Structure 1
Amino acid sequence: MSTRILGISAYYHDSAAALIVDGKIVAAAQEERFTRLKHDPSFPAQAINYCLAEGNVKLADIDAIIFYDKPLLKFERLLETYLANAPRGIRSFIRAMPVWLKEKLYLKTVLRREFRQLAELDKKNPIPKLLFSEHHLSHAGSAYFPSPYEDAAVLCLDGVGEWATSTAWKGNGNQLTPLWEIQFPHSLGLLYSAFTYYCGFKVNSGEYKLMGLAPYGEPKYVDIILEKLVTLHDDGSFHLDMSYFDFAVGSTMTNSKFADLFGGPRQPDDAEVTQKQMDLARSIQVVTEEIVLKIVKHLYTLAPSDNLCLAGGVALNCVSNGRLLREGPYKNIWIQPAAGDAGGALGAALVAYHHYFDGKRSVNKNQDSQQGSYLGPAYSNEDVLSAVKDKGLTAHVQEDLYSFAANLLEQGNVVGWFQGRMEFGPRALGNRSIIGDPRNTKMQSTMNLKIKYRESFRPFAPAVLAEDVSEYFEHECASPYMLLVANVKKALRLQTDESLFGIDKLLQQRSTLPAITHVDYSARIQTVHADSNPEFHALISAFKEKTDCAVVVNTSFNVRGEPPVCSPADAIRCFLATEMDYLVMNNVVLKKTDQPEFAITLAKQTKFDRD
């Protein structure tokens, strides 16, 4: 008899659901993809419905539902923190308590009510067994259990769960054993988010911008950070001087003392990027990398292994991950692609299967069980053509798809590429992607300004045939989830004017693949494998055959402020509202210039209304 487990994360940010059957990942998706609300924290009703439908099961067939953290422990942390800082923080306390007293303290009751409504059950029909995992155990489960390792050290770094902000584990067989933890308020994730906030970006989403800005700056604030803000020990443990921060009990991340230390108030939201922001970004990036390296080197003394697994929001810092791979003591690194809270739903379900039900774990040493993270819904040609007809658009079915699409890229077109099952996690991995020719000198600015409607400095990632990765990058191992940064090979680099400073560095071509080469010659690599994504692999192979280039630009299929597209209708709206040239859904092709003007105008009006 099969064991079916539904994992959920909700009520903070990035709510999600995941379905596990006999330890195998059947489906996983974030609620934001269905509601179109970026980082949607609400009960993941649509994601749950999708997972159940994908698994062809009803809620009554589920053996257990598991929530990704323990709200009572989180409430304990809130109360103790407010009491320790009283009377400071009284306003924040008053704002927070009604939600806790009304809902979060009674989460078990709230969840049962939501599931009854979802399944249209009355009180006489019980919902499945309801379990709760600890936040960092969920992260650790998401990192270790899908990995291709029989044993591994596991490191989880994020903002905060219940109490823990940093934890280390030993994974062996079907068990995770805790080794140590660092507790709130001392948090590497919150330290990085404090600089995100101070630089004028949104916490929990703007961290990518800070990482992208870092190469334009100089590490001039590193000493100040390590002297004033962080006490770093030889074993990688650290303490923050909380007199500079307001996140423990206040409504902001930093305070006036922090602003005085760095010579002025917080940068306003969406203000023009300054050199100071670039220098702050570079400085906190350097500090983050040094802390992570120290932690991992000490972890190796406690859990020697060839293998390291990572999860938690800090594991999305692909620059730090790249350094770990090059300089750290572990031979192999596997990073959960949905490393943030969404991945907690998946990790919790895997923890329930292996720890609560004592399910056996089978490992394929040559391949993880994440299935390329293609765990979301897929759509048939009938679904696609129905959406096209509904919008009154023009399309054709293309038989020789890969050669045709490769020609489009070679001609300089920007193409929306919509294939197969949607990705789980924040990265586009070739199924909900916008793609282009990396050799095109105008591609980065075109995609940023006319397609993504975002800052010009934001870098784009290369998707490269796995078998050819070492031809283009100083990198040899698999990186299927776009979570490792490596340098473009020196043979492909071009001579540049080293006197240029700051954002002016963006104005010059740095390699023969200018659209994916960041200003420090780095690139966030996705290796594309024929076994996990044969469609995307076939497209890049066709492009290579035509151009002798085995790389394409790959960015997520969305515009600024929206999550990546999920359905054909989402893809069509994004295609019409931007300057994208073609949209390819399965083998159905839409050309922008063939579409009626009224449809394009309506889509653009809708986009700006949503903005």
Structure 2
Amino acid sequence: MMRIILGISAFYHDSAAALIIDGNIVAAVQQERFSRLKHDPGFPADAVRYCLKTADCQLDDVDAIVFYDKPLLKFERLLETFLVRAPFGFTGFVRAMPVWLKEKLYLKHLLRKELRALSGSANTQTRRFPLLFTEHHQSHAASAYYPSPFHHAIVICLDGVGEWTTTSVWEGKGNTLTALSELHFPHSLGLLYSAFTFYCGFKVNSGEYKLMGLAPYGSPKYADLIRTHLIDSKADGSFRLDLRYFDYETGRRMTSQRFHDLFGRGPWPQDKEPDQMCMDLASSIQMVIEEVVLNIARYARSRVKTGNLCLAGGVALNCVANGKLREAAIFDNIWVQPAAGDAGGALGAALAAWYSQSDVAEKPAADTMQAACLGPAYSDADICQAMTEWAVNGERLDDDKLSTVVASYLADNHVVGWYQGRAEYGPRALGNRSILGNPASETMQRVMNVKIKQRESFRPFAPAIRLERLGDYFDTQADSPYMLDVARLLPRHCYTVSASEGLDKVNDKRSAIPAVTHLDYSARVQTVTSNDNPRFYALLCAFEAQTGLPVLINTSFNVRGEPPVLTPADAIRCFLATEMDYLVLGNYLLDRRTASARAIQRARQTTFEKD
């Protein structure tokens, strides 16, 4: 039986590697963290090296390498789509075909070539490894069910497209996953949402978060237009798009001229500040997506007699829709894979292979994602070396003093970079690669967005809160360790706001914790426990002791267009290039005021393409 399994996702976006031993998750990380190229699609060589090093093994020790989708099925979809739409899209066909014929159709050969290069030996035994392939949605489903705390659950996978499948419903029971239903390309909730992402001036596959964050600034005045012309949704969870309004099948754009005519103008320019129409469109498509997701969930619940739900696929990162699912109480328990997008496919592929060949009758009855802290950690020696390289000094504090001192800085409205332990797997910073701030500050959201993150001022920030204090602030008792649920602030903490217009609404003080309260009094909550992250939990306790608030702003440690930092050197560079006040690296505390002008100038020479 296979013991050591390496999972790989690559060649589309968010490449990653994951390694399991005897079904236990040992390591998982995205390639972008090493390459510093956001959503890096390349072969995840650095991620594979890290996984092998963590497991203290070589490629020759691996029993199987599993790729997260089946390229021949993808090629079939591409070819059939172009044939059906011929002669439309011929230019796209000519552009895509050489790439498919040269690389993706012969993916097994390409993978073996990359693995040989990775081994560093021309005589490697790589060719004898069983090289396996799972279907894309099978990888998503496995990543959601097997690490979840359930022995029996419905699994819903929603994304843009895998090989053919865009929406799938599964039953997970014991150690098996059974597909119940699926919808196929080109009918896709993920692609529908991405079409509006493109139309509102954001980049596809990276700007969907922005569209979700923009939605509360508008009203759903176009929802009926979308329901009437773009999507036909049924009570059984199925839906169809009117493809005349889209151009993603064979063209270069997401939307067609008919789409533009329907809404009365062409796509909004990228990087131009959204206008009220963009806000209303964001609100409208968010409402429609939520309705369809609820339909799918109700249908799935009627098929399988269990109150547990697992979610994966890119649409599962829409935390607002997840919050609506929780509020609807269709299920008793909901668990979302923290690396729900394609990066999580690496882990799902490995787990699918393990459970398909394992004689274990049951999976663990616990969340086995280890708080998603599955990436690299760095030692004090690594931290000191990075400080030497950047010519910066840090004071080493013991754990208790560190929490007290940093809490006092946060209470005084300073911004702190917080770098601890293993890097998070997935798109969310969960207290190990984070930037922290005071949620009670009226100006902190704008300061952190514009001066620190260097991104759009309307983007919301998440509150991290100790789990036992969750019900004192938000309308839920549901644990949310992966920051993938939206809850509403309790009325007693909310304020009536002025009638500001457009993006100026961000400046209204609408609650006792305004920096983490979105326009509709919602927040993307992260719950923290002493078991999952003891050091971050201790900091929350220290902050509450000084301010009375058990909440901190938690956002990823990066600037716009940059992946979250990985190494201590990455953290120092980002710290110096922004206007953060303090940086904590393990037990070392760095003060920006002591940094030299030369180090700051050097840090600012590194730039990233805007997403």
Normalising by the smaller structure, the TM-score range is: over 0.9
Match of 2:257 in 1: 256
Match of 2:526 in 1: 526
C-alpha distance in structure 1 between counterparts of 2:609 and 2:24, whole Å: 42
Q: Secondary structure at the match of 2:157?
A: strand
Q: Is the 8 A contact 1:381 1:586 kept in 2?
A: yes
Match of 1:222 in 2: 223
Report the alpha carbon displacement of residue 43 of structure 1 after superposing the two structures with TM. 0.2
Alignment-mate amino acid for residue 176 of structure 1: L
Q: Secondary structure at the match of 2:477?
A: coil
Deviation digits for residues 203-231 of structure 1, max 9, x if unmatched? Answer: 00100000000000010000100000001
Q: Secondary structure at the match of 2:269?
A: coil
Match of 2:101 in 1: 101
Number of equivalent positions: 608
Alignment-mate amino acid for residue 530 of structure 2: A
Report the alpha carbon displacement of residue 544 of structure 1 after superposing the two structures with TM. 0.9
Report the alpha carbon displacement of residue 356 of structure 1 after superposing the two structures with TM. 3.2
**What does residue range 139-288 of structure 1 map to in structure 2 within 5 Å?**
139-288=140-289
Report the alpha carbon displacement of residue 272 of structure 1 after superposing the two structures with TM. 1.6
Does residue 513 of structure 2 align to residue 501 of structure 1?
Answer: no
Alignment-mate amino acid for residue 207 of structure 1: E
Alignment-mate amino acid for residue 325 of structure 2: L
Q: Is the 8 A contact 2:82 2:89 kept in 1?
A: yes
Moved more, 502-511 or 91-100: 502-511
Does residue 344 of structure 2 align to residue 337 of structure 1?
Answer: no
Match of 2:483 in 1: 482
Deviation digits for residues 519-538 of structure 1, max 9, x if unmatched? Answer: 10000000001101111101
Q: Is the 8 A contact 2:560 2:610 kept in 1?
A: no
Report the alpha carbon displacement of residue 306 of structure 1 after superposing the two structures with TM. 1.4
Q: 1:243 to 1:445 in 2, by over 3 A?
A: same
Deviation digits for residues 305-340 of structure 1, max 9, x if unmatched? Answer: 110000000000000000101104110000000000
Report the alpha carbon displacement of residue 609 of structure 1 after superposing the two structures with TM. 9.2
C-alpha distance in structure 2 between counterparts of 1:8 and 1:358, whole Å: 24
Deviation digits for residues 5-43 of structure 1, max 9, x if unmatched? Answer: 000000000000000011110000000000000000000
C-alpha distance in structure 2 between counterparts of 1:361 and 1:405, whole Å: 44
C-alpha distance in structure 2 between counterparts of 1:58 and 1:357, whole Å: 23
C-alpha distance in structure 2 between counterparts of 1:564 and 1:66, whole Å: 26
C-alpha distance in structure 2 between counterparts of 1:565 and 1:163, whole Å: 34
C-alpha distance in structure 1 between counterparts of 2:212 and 2:340, whole Å: 16
Does residue 323 of structure 2 align to residue 322 of structure 1?
Answer: yes
Alignment-mate amino acid for residue 244 of structure 1: Y
Q: Is the 8 A contact 1:166 1:183 kept in 2?
A: yes
Match of 1:398 in 2: 397
Match of 2:580 in 1: 580
Report the alpha carbon displacement of residue 360 of structure 1 after superposing the two structures with TM. 4.7
C-alpha distance in structure 2 between counterparts of 1:186 and 1:273, whole Å: 27
C-alpha distance in structure 2 between counterparts of 1:520 and 1:502, whole Å: 14
Alignment-mate amino acid for residue 606 of structure 1: T
Q: Secondary structure at the match of 1:430?
A: coil
Report the alpha carbon displacement of residue 495 of structure 1 after superposing the two structures with TM. 1.8
Match of 2:381 in 1: 382
Report the alpha carbon displacement of residue 124 of structure 1 after superposing the two structures with TM. 6.2
Report the alpha carbon displacement of residue 391 of structure 1 after superposing the two structures with TM. 1.2
Report the alpha carbon displacement of residue 442 of structure 1 after superposing the two structures with TM. 1.1
Does residue 62 of structure 2 align to residue 23 of structure 1?
Answer: no
Q: Is the 8 A contact 2:307 2:331 kept in 1?
A: yes
C-alpha distance in structure 2 between counterparts of 1:138 and 1:267, whole Å: 35
Q: RMSD across aligned C-alpha pairs, in angstroms?
A: 1.3
Match of 1:134 in 2: 135
Deviation digits for residues 211-268 of structure 1, max 9, x if unmatched? Answer: 0000000100001000000011111210000001000011110011100101101001
Deviation digits for residues 452-478 of structure 1, max 9, x if unmatched? Answer: 000000000000001111111111110
**What does residue range 300-379 of structure 1 map to in structure 2 within 5 Å?**
300-364=301-365, 367-379=366-378
Q: Is the 8 A contact 1:353 1:359 kept in 2?
A: no
Q: Secondary structure at the match of 2:315?
A: helix
Alignment-mate amino acid for residue 389 of structure 2: D
Q: Is the 8 A contact 1:354 1:361 kept in 2?
A: no
C-alpha distance in structure 2 between counterparts of 1:152 and 1:182, whole Å: 20
Q: 1:283 to 1:573 in 2, by over 3 A?
A: same
Match of 2:543 in 1: 543
Q: Is the 8 A contact 2:8 2:66 kept in 1?
A: yes
Consecutive unaligned residues in structure 2, runs of 5 or more = none
Match of 2:7 in 1: 7
Deviation digits for residues 390-410 of structure 1, max 9, x if unmatched? Answer: 111121112211111111101
C-alpha distance in structure 2 between counterparts of 1:330 and 1:535, whole Å: 33
Alignment-mate amino acid for residue 65 of structure 2: I
Alignment-mate amino acid for residue 380 of structure 1: S
C-alpha distance in structure 1 between counterparts of 2:229 and 2:162, whole Å: 25
Alignment-mate amino acid for residue 340 of structure 1: G
Q: Is the 8 A contact 2:443 2:507 kept in 1?
A: no
Does residue 74 of structure 2 align to residue 113 of structure 1?
Answer: no
Alignment-mate amino acid for residue 301 of structure 1: S
Report the alpha carbon displacement of residue 381 of structure 1 after superposing the two structures with TM. 1.0
**What does residue range 404-443 of structure 1 map to in structure 2 within 5 Å?**
404-443=405-444
C-alpha distance in structure 1 between counterparts of 2:506 and 2:372, whole Å: 32
C-alpha distance in structure 2 between counterparts of 1:7 and 1:517, whole Å: 38
C-alpha distance in structure 1 between counterparts of 2:550 and 2:409, whole Å: 15
Q: Is the 8 A contact 2:309 2:333 kept in 1?
A: yes
Alignment-mate amino acid for residue 371 of structure 2: G
Q: Secondary structure at the match of 2:291?
A: helix
C-alpha distance in structure 1 between counterparts of 2:158 and 2:608, whole Å: 36
Q: Is the 8 A contact 1:156 1:312 kept in 2?
A: yes
Consecutive unaligned residues in structure 1, runs of 5 or more = none
Does residue 41 of structure 2 align to residue 49 of structure 1?
Answer: no
Report the alpha carbon displacement of residue 121 of structure 1 after superposing the two structures with TM. 3.2
Q: Is the 8 A contact 2:2 2:354 kept in 1?
A: no
Q: Is the 8 A contact 2:37 2:562 kept in 1?
A: yes
Alignment-mate amino acid for residue 377 of structure 2: A
Q: What TM-score does the superposition give when structure 2 sets the normalisation length?
A: 0.98
% identity of equivalent residues: 58
Deviation digits for residues 478-520 of structure 1, max 9, x if unmatched? Answer: 00000000001110001212x3333232121000001000010
Q: Is the 8 A contact 1:200 1:266 kept in 2?
A: yes
Report the alpha carbon displacement of residue 120 of structure 1 after superposing the two structures with TM. 1.9
Q: Is the 8 A contact 1:23 1:361 kept in 2?
A: no
Q: Secondary structure at the match of 1:607?
A: coil
Does residue 586 of structure 2 align to residue 570 of structure 1?
Answer: no
C-alpha distance in structure 2 between counterparts of 1:502 and 1:565, whole Å: 33
Report the alpha carbon displacement of residue 359 of structure 1 after superposing the two structures with TM. 4.5
Report the alpha carbon displacement of residue 125 of structure 1 after superposing the two structures with TM. 2.2
Match of 1:451 in 2: 452
Report the alpha carbon displacement of residue 84 of structure 1 after superposing the two structures with TM. 0.0
Q: Secondary structure at the match of 2:540?
A: helix
Q: Is the 8 A contact 1:8 1:17 kept in 2?
A: yes
Alignment-mate amino acid for residue 393 of structure 2: T
Q: 1:360 to 1:100 in 2, by over 3 A?
A: same
C-alpha distance in structure 2 between counterparts of 1:260 and 1:210, whole Å: 21
Match of 2:82 in 1: 82
Deviation digits for residues 518-572 of structure 1, max 9, x if unmatched? Answer: 0100000000011011111011011111111100000000000000000001000
Alignment-mate amino acid for residue 521 of structure 1: Y
Q: Is the 8 A contact 2:170 2:179 kept in 1?
A: yes
C-alpha distance in structure 2 between counterparts of 1:341 and 1:609, whole Å: 21
Report the alpha carbon displacement of residue 280 of structure 1 after superposing the two structures with TM. 0.2
C-alpha distance in structure 1 between counterparts of 2:159 and 2:256, whole Å: 21
Q: Secondary structure at the match of 1:285?
A: helix
